[in-house]
Structure 1
Amino acid sequence: TTAGFQSALLVSVPFWQKHGFVEVTNQQANESYGEDAKVMMRAL
C-alpha cells in the first residue's frame, strides 16, 4: 500500500516458507545465524 509497509524481511531457517516467505537470493544472512539461515521476504 502507499500508506504503509510493502514487505517484511527476516533472517530465518526455511520454516517461514510455510507462511508465505520466499528466499531473497541476492542477500546473504550473517553466519552467526547458522549455515542454513536465509534472508526471507514476504510482500504485505
Structure 2
Amino acid sequence: MARKIEIARLRSREKELTLTRKRACAHDEKGLRSRAQAK
C-alpha cells in the first residue's frame, strides 16, 4: 500500500513540474515576441 501512495505522489509531482515548465515556456515565448517587436 505504501508503495502505491509513493508512486501516486511522484506522478502528481511530475505533473506539477510539467505544468510549471509549460507555463515557463509560454512566458518565455511571450517575452521573446515582445522583445522582437521592440527592436
Q: Specify the TM-score bucket, using the shorter chain as the normaliser.
A: under 0.3
User: Is the helix fraction higher in 1 or 2?
Assistant: 2
Give the structure-1-normalised TM-score: 0.20
Which structure is larger by alpha-carbon Rg, 1 or 2? 2
User: Is the strand fraction higher in 1 or 2?
Assistant: 1
